[in-house]
Structure 1
Amino acid sequence: MDAASAETVRLVPWAEGDFWLLRRNNSPEMTEHLGGPETEEKLVARHRRYVDLATGGMFRVVLADGGESVGAIGFWEREWQGETVWETGWAVLPEFQGRGLAAGAARAVVETARAAGRNRYLHAFPKADHAASNGVCRRAGFTLVGQSRFEYPKGHWITSNDWRVDLGEVLEGPG
């Protein structure tokens, strides 16, 4: 789907009442590339981290027209190759996939991370064989840096693509 025909989305900060969306995203279908569903205890802990995230942000992705919730996206700090960077990840509910919503949400989170001004780079690390998520990165303007072995979830090693957006032009400001 091209950008002109894609539906537009907006990001709504993650709140206490968004646990239902996290639960929906925890299905076998939605976690196939993430090591499978998490336990209820881990979901509750993840929800708490999302609500309490100190740097970055987690968001519910909603349709700009009508406000229907279609997924989740966020960005947070991590250490990567000796520097602190932003990392992003997303999930779009199955009934809304294939409509350009994830790419729209990724573009919105790029702008949100850029506005945060804290780190120069935003990375995404989809599994190398996850065609849909790699396509989202490409359509959202990320640059493929290469492949990396990545531990996610803990104890589970995967080969991921390292996609990156340089936020530096805003961090550096006008010359």
Structure 2
Amino acid sequence: MLTARDGDVRIRPVGRGDADLYLALRGDAATMRDLGGPQPPDRIRAGHAREVAETAAGRADIVVAEVATADGWVAAGNVSLVAHPPAGAEVGWLVLPEHRGRGVARSAVRLLLGLPGTAERWGVVEAQPSVGNTASNRLCAALGSTDRGEVDVEFAGQRFRCRRWELDLRAQVPQ
């Protein structure tokens, strides 16, 4: 997987050294509000290790979004692109609270979906943000995704009402 940059945001493959980012993201109540609340540290560490292995094996494209600061590049969140039948893949993202509202997720998602070979590999990409997650639903619309309506989704043993968005990467390049 390649790295990519768009102004003050860049992406790189997730690695073993990103465990603290995962703990900060998935252990934060505000970040995980629409995903059932913060996860316990052991579960976060196991999920991180699994995502590093899946990315290294080429079974998923999971990246860390970094932002440029006066002190250099700082991890701000992550974006995952994983197999999800019947669509080709599901895309999801999390951004640390201090970096929200600055376009980090939008830039990182666009960078990941625009990497060479992504459209051919994954084809149709789906996102399923909670119906109450206005920012994520706006991002899906801004990507040019098609709103397929509301669905019930199970995550972490809980059911959530989500909006299902679909984007055929073969038909368009995210802007």
Do the structures match in fold with TM over 0.5? yes
Tell me which residue corresponds to 1:75. Answer: 81
How far off is 1:158 after superposition?
Answer: 1.0
Question: Residues 78-93 of structure 1: matches in 2 within 5 Å?
Answer: 78-79=84-85, 83-93=86-96
**Ranges of 4+ aligned residues in structure 1 off by more than 6 Å:** none
1:74: Cα distance to partner?
1.1
How many residues are treated as equivalent by the alignment?
161
CA distance, structure 2, for counterparts of residue 144 and residue 107 of structure 1: 18
Q: How does 1:119-130 map to 2 (within 5 A)?
A: 119-130=122-133
TM-score of the two chains, using structure 1 as the length reference: 0.83
**Aligned counterparts of 2:87 and 2:171: Cα–Cα separation in 1:** 17
Distance 1:45 1:72 in 2: 16
Quick check: 1:63–1:70 contact (8 Å CA) kept in 2? yes
Aligned residue type for 1:161: R
Specify the code of the residue in structure 1 equivalent to 2:167.
V
Q: State the shift of 1:143 in Å.
A: 2.2
CA distance in 1: counterparts of 2:124 and 2:116, whole angstroms: 9
User: 1:63 offset after TM fit, Å?
Assistant: 2.1
Q: In structure 2, what is the Cα distance between the partners aligned to 1:113 and 1:144? A: 25
The code of the aligned residue for 1:75 comes to L
Gaps of 5+ in 1: 1-5, 171-175
Identify the residue that residue 106 of structure 1 maps to in structure 2. 109
Tell me how large the CA RMSD over aligned residues is: 2.1
Paired-residue identity, %: 29
Give, as a single letter, the amino acid of the residue that structure 1 aligns with 2:16. Answer: E
Q: Secondary structure at the match of 2:114?
A: helix
> Does the 8 A contact of 1:58 with 1:74 survive in 2?
yes
Secondary structure (helix, strand or coil) at the match of 1:128 reads: coil
Instruction: For 1:10 and 1:105, locate their aligned partners in 2 and report how far apart those are by CA, in whole Å.
Output: 7
Gaps of 5+ in 2: 1-5
Secondary structure at 1:134 match in 2: helix
For 2:78, the aligned partner's letter is: A
**Deviating more after overlay: 6-15 vs 84-93:** 6-15
**CA displacement 1:42-86 (0-9 Å, x = unmatched):** 11210111110141211110125742211111110022xxx2521
